[in-house]
Chains A and B, each alone.
Chain A
Amino acid sequence: MSLTLDHLRRTYGSFTAVDDLSFSVGAGEIVGLIGPNGAGKTTTLRSLAGILRPTSGSVRIDGHDIVQDPLEAKKRLAFMPDEPHLFEYLTVEEHLRLIGRLYSVDDFDSRARALVDELELAGKERSLPGELSRGMRQKVVIACGLVRNASTLLFDEPLTGLDPIGIRRMRETIVARARTGAAVLLSSHLLHLVEEICTRVIIMAGGRKVADGTFAELASRADLAMGGSNLEQIFLHVTGHNERSPTG
């Protein structure tokens, strides 16, 4: 397995954000991580990326523990956060070049050129983040994540700020990376996106995993099937929000 979580727990003082979370993502899989606000999705992704230290439990990337062997684990990992964090004084191409240096990317120039075209950043290579729209900055973050050959990709709300064409391109990009063997974990509130591209879904609530399986598996589970036949209905049922509206 490319990515393995084992009894992950993360607390903030007396508050437990993630509790006893275990799952794996294999090569070529696209796993959707969904849950209501405050479910612990972002804390989970930040713990996987090495930004937050797990309070207990372990995270392994291609067998390398993110706490015990962080350099090897991080080399194999790309995290694309929902909020684009960029250096306001580096241009787009300099961000890519910095990543190329820090991750020792082979064949950097051709990879960077292809990504700039793929993500429609052409013509913006010499722009500073302050001169870009939010969607463009999001694309730069994604380009920095994809310019290296990471075996595990973590996306936190990857479509935020993108226009319809950008959303379509991003969907294709994520699927294409999985086809080349990357393990993809994607957190999103856009359930139709998850339903469309994910091979498996994990539903979190209150810091815990409450459901895990392919869409077909979830839909066939007796306790979940009564919620409805699509992911939105299952999600609302699992998270306790399945009351039908008065009009509907």
Chain B
Amino acid sequence: MLSASLYIIVCSARNRVRARLRRLREPRYLLGAVAGAAYLYFSFFSRMRGANRAAERRRRGAPASPAAMQLLYASGPALAGILMLAATIVSWLMPFDSGLLDFSEAEIQFLFPAPVARSHLLVHRMLRSQLGMLFASIVVAAVSPLGGVRRLQIALGMWLVMAITKVYFTGISLSRARLASASAHARRVAWMPVGVLIAAIAIVGAALARAWVASPPAGFREWMLLIGGISMTGASRFVLWPFIAVARPLFAEWPGPFLRALAEAAIVLAAVAAWVLASDDAFQDAAAEVAAKKEGGQAAAKGAAFKARATGLHLDLAGRPELAFAWKAAQQTFRLVDRRSLARLVAIMFSLSVAAASIGRGNGLAAILGAFALVGVGFSVLMGPQALRIDMRQDLRHLELLKTWPIKASAVIRGELLWPGVLLTAAAWALVALAGILSAAVFTHVSAANRVAVALAIAILAPALIFAQFTIHNGVALLFPAWVPLGSQRPRGLDAMGQRLILLGGTWILLLVMALPGAVAGGLVWLALRHVLGAAAFVPAAFAFTVAVVLEVLMASEALGPAYERLDITAVETVE
């Protein structure tokens, strides 16, 4: 099986590279590749050279290892080990998918019926995941500010961390599945790591508590010293050893300590892999479940968890077709429970709001929430249309069906824009209202009248900017369908990355062009009324801007009609 697995990996990689090189003959891929290469060069490699020069300067002038760095190197592995222990606890309580059991359709069709042990299939998946992890490790090393051999250390260390955690968390998933097994023996085996983990938590927790009572840490440095201390003494030293060993290669000095750390991490990897491979029965069940899911349909296999719940939205049998498209998209929105997307969105919003609050002008919960709402408005208006793709970008997958409908092309386009535009506008308005209510805490020196005027102006501008961007995105999807990833697809490769960058840049330029007439109209209104109305002049100015942009959106939907009519299903590509 090992040779077959290597054969699959090598052939897949070789054919993928060939296919990507072959498609460079097409100008759009070549352009994308040039843009992607330029981005990589300026983001990573020029930074690498800068980092090397900085490292050289440090070597000549400043001391080799300042106190902070020494502290990081001494206590970093212990801190990383405790964090890994915490992640382990979380993964037992809230399991997540490490991706190791995500077999492709072809793997299920060819390898599952093949006369090979399930554990060999797991080895195959482990081997297959190595290329991606190696690439990610190299990227992390490339963006690291450190130079020289430290970069190689980081690449190797990161690869080990990723390889071990991927296998380890798969092992936890497999064990969790057996916790309620009908077999008493299987249950005992599955509960054993839980017992070991509880004992480990008790030992480390007790050591932390003792050290804290003995000498309460006053700051970050003391905390680091405390954590470093418990990792070197008593029973906690042994309990934390495997967790620390995973992270130690990232912090060890070159060459002796690093090579020793590498050997220790390799031992942990071997132990974790042996534990997972020993869970053969559990893997049988998990693999069968994956296969059953795949057979159950593509949507279920991809985890697109639509639930057939009643939404309360009724579609009348007569009326404008645009509303039927909006109804369709609304049904999709209310039926999609994509927890991962939601968690990502919340995490992004939270980080942005924390960042905004930390640089904000006020204190207290009201100021934090106000800043959060303001960032949310900016995100939903400026980035929302890029992220929310329940429009033509997603419906290109259903083009074969859409093209048979007797609906005017411009109505199809307007229908595709309608729901995502309304949804984002509603979100933006809610956040504007929240920001407006809390604005006194954020903008303490601005008068209430001015704050209300600006909030109203933003609320009027929001739909214009949102619909303008949706028009641009959908126009690009119709005019350059091969450049647009379908639905949740994420095409890979340097050229695909470059295409995304070009698209993003193009969208922003088009938005500026589209906003220009509205900006001129709004500016004129503001100039005419500012002496009469003061800050309240922003409101009619925003209104003029919005009217101009709405007219442009309507004209664009008509102008894009022929593009939809001409759009050929063969121009729509699926990713490799």
**CB distance B318 to A104 under 8 Å?**
yes
Q: Tell me if A232 is interfacial: C-beta within 8 Å of chain B.
A: no
Q: Tell me if A70 is interfacial: C-beta within 8 Å of chain B.
A: yes
Whether A101 contacts B308 in the complex (CB less than 8 A), given A53-B568, A72-B406, A81-B400, comes out as no
Complexed CA–CA distance, A97 and B398 (Å): 17
Candidate in B300, B321, B405 with the most chain A CB atoms within 10 angstroms: B405
Output the least CB separation between A119 and chain B (Å).
18
Complexed CA–CA distance, A52 and B331 (Å): 29
Contact of A105 among B308, B317, B405 (CB under 8 A): B317
Whether A100 contacts B331 in the complex (CB less than 8 A), given A50-B403, A129-B299, comes out as no
Whether A101 contacts B317 in the complex (CB less than 8 A), given A70-B565, A71-B407, A88-B306, comes out as yes
Q: Which residue of B lies closest to A104 (CB)?
A: B318
Complexed CA–CA distance, A90 and B484 (Å): 24
Residues on the B chain within 8 Å of A103, using CB: 405-406
- The contact string, 1 if C-beta is below 8 Å from chain B, for chain A 69-99, is 0111111010101000111111100100110
Q: Tell me if A49 is interfacial: C-beta within 8 Å of chain B.
A: yes
Residues on the B chain within 8 Å of A129, using CB: 297, 299
Q: Tell me if B364 is interfacial: C-beta within 8 Å of chain A.
A: no
- The contact string, 1 if C-beta is below 8 Å from chain A, for chain B 390-407, is 000000001111011111
Q: Tell me if B150 is interfacial: C-beta within 8 Å of chain A.
A: no
Number of A-B pairs whose CB atoms are under 8 Å? 93
Residues on the B chain within 8 Å of A12, using CB: 570
Q: How many residues of A contact B (CB 8 A)?
A: 39
Complexed CA–CA distance, A48 and B307 (Å): 35
Complexed CA–CA distance, A49 and B316 (Å): 26
**CB distance A71 to B406 under 8 Å?**
yes
Complexed CA–CA distance, A127 and B335 (Å): 12
- The contact string, 1 if C-beta is below 8 Å from chain A, for chain B 365-401, is 0000000000000000000000000000000001111
Q: How many residues of B contact A (CB 8 A)?
A: 36
Residues on the A chain within 8 Å of B297, using CB: 129-130
Q: Tell me if B62 is interfacial: C-beta within 8 Å of chain A.
A: no
Complexed CA–CA distance, A75 and B405 (Å): 8
**CB distance A102 to B403 under 8 Å?**
no
Whether A97 contacts B306 in the complex (CB less than 8 A), given A52-B569, A70-B406, A85-B398, comes out as no
Contact of A87 among B398, B566, B570 (CB under 8 A): B398
Output the least CB separation between B312 and chain A (Å).
13
Q: Which residue of A lies closest to B301 (CB)?
A: A130
Residues on the A chain within 8 Å of B66, using CB: none
Residues on the B chain within 8 Å of A49, using CB: 403-404
Interface residues in B315-335 by Cβ distance below 8 A to A read 315-319, 321, 324, 327-328, 331-332, 335
**CB distance B306 to A75 under 8 Å?**
no
Q: Tell me if A118 is interfacial: C-beta within 8 Å of chain B.
A: no
- The contact string, 1 if C-beta is below 8 Å from chain A, for chain B 331-372, is 110011000000000000000000000000000000000000
Complexed CA–CA distance, A143 and B422 (Å): 32
Candidate in A51, A73, A86, A88 with the most chain B CB atoms within 10 angstroms: A88
Complexed CA–CA distance, A53 and B570 (Å): 10
Whether A102 contacts B324 in the complex (CB less than 8 A), given A75-B406, A127-B308, comes out as yes
Residues on the B chain within 8 Å of A91, using CB: 308
- The contact string, 1 if C-beta is below 8 Å from chain A, for chain B 273-299, is 000000000000000000000001101
Q: Which residue of A lies closest to B569 (CB)?
A: A51
**CB distance A128 to B308 under 8 Å?**
yes
Whether A130 contacts B328 in the complex (CB less than 8 A), given A85-B400, A108-B317, comes out as no
Output the least CB separation between B313 and chain A (Å).
10
Whether A51 contacts B331 in the complex (CB less than 8 A), given A91-B308, A101-B319, A130-B306, comes out as no
Complexed CA–CA distance, A128 and B405 (Å): 21
Q: Tell me if A131 is interfacial: C-beta within 8 Å of chain B.
A: yes
Q: Which residue of B lies closest to A101 (CB)?
A: B324
Residues on the A chain within 8 Å of B304, using CB: 88, 130
Interface residues in A109-131 by Cβ distance below 8 A to B read 126-131
Complexed CA–CA distance, A94 and B306 (Å): 14
Output the least CB separation between B27 and chain A (Å).
15
Residues on the B chain within 8 Å of A171, using CB: none
**CB distance B317 to A89 under 8 Å?**
no
Q: Which residue of A lies closest to B319 (CB)?
A: A101
Interface residues in B432-477 by Cβ distance below 8 A to A read none
Q: Tell me if A169 is interfacial: C-beta within 8 Å of chain B.
A: no
Residues on the A chain within 8 Å of B317, using CB: 97, 100-101, 104-105, 108
Residues on the A chain within 8 Å of B319, using CB: 101
Complexed CA–CA distance, A53 and B567 (Å): 9
Complexed CA–CA distance, A127 and B307 (Å): 9
Q: Which residue of B lies closest to A99 (CB)?
A: B405
Q: Tell me if A7 is interfacial: C-beta within 8 Å of chain B.
A: no
Q: Tell me if A46 is interfacial: C-beta within 8 Å of chain B.
A: yes
**CB distance B332 to A98 under 8 Å?**
no
Residues on the B chain within 8 Å of A79, using CB: 404
**CB distance A131 to B308 under 8 Å?**
yes
Q: Tell me if B408 is interfacial: C-beta within 8 Å of chain A.
A: yes
Output the least CB separation between B17 and chain A (Å).
24
Residues on the A chain within 8 Å of B403, using CB: 49-51
Residues on the B chain within 8 Å of A46, using CB: 400, 569
**CB distance A90 to B315 under 8 Å?**
no
Output the least CB separation between A3 and chain B (Å).
14
Candidate in A12, A98, A108 with the most chain B CB atoms within 10 angstroms: A98
**CB distance B404 to A101 under 8 Å?**
no
Complexed CA–CA distance, A103 and B406 (Å): 7
Whether A94 contacts B318 in the complex (CB less than 8 A), given A72-B406, A128-B306, comes out as no
Complexed CA–CA distance, A79 and B299 (Å): 24
Residues on the A chain within 8 Å of B401, using CB: 85-86
Residues on the A chain within 8 Å of B400, using CB: 46, 51, 81, 85
Interface residues in B117-135 by Cβ distance below 8 A to A read none
**CB distance A90 to B331 under 8 Å?**
yes
Complexed CA–CA distance, A97 and B313 (Å): 12
Output the least CB separation between A149 and chain B (Å).
13
Contact of A98 among B324, B399, B569 (CB under 8 A): B324
Complexed CA–CA distance, A50 and B405 (Å): 9
**CB distance A102 to B315 under 8 Å?**
no
**What are 24 A-B pairs with beta-carbon distances under 8 A?**
A46-B400, A46-B569, A49-B403, A51-B403, A51-B404, A70-B565, A71-B408, A75-B406, A89-B332, A90-B328, A91-B308, A97-B315, A97-B317, A100-B317, A101-B318, A101-B321, A102-B405, A103-B406, A105-B317, A128-B307, A128-B335, A129-B297, A129-B299, A130-B296
13 further A-B pairs in the complex, CB-CB below 8 A; given A90-B332, A102-B321: A52-B570, A53-B568, A70-B565, A79-B404, A88-B299, A88-B304, A89-B332, A89-B336, A91-B308, A101-B317, A101-B321, A128-B335, A130-B296
- 6 residue pairs, one from A and one from B, having the closest CB atoms: A74-B406, A89-B332, A130-B299, A75-B406, A88-B299, A130-B297
Binding site for B on A (CB under 8 A): 12, 46, 49-53, 70-75, 77, 79, 81, 85-91, 94, 97-98, 100-105, 108, 126-131
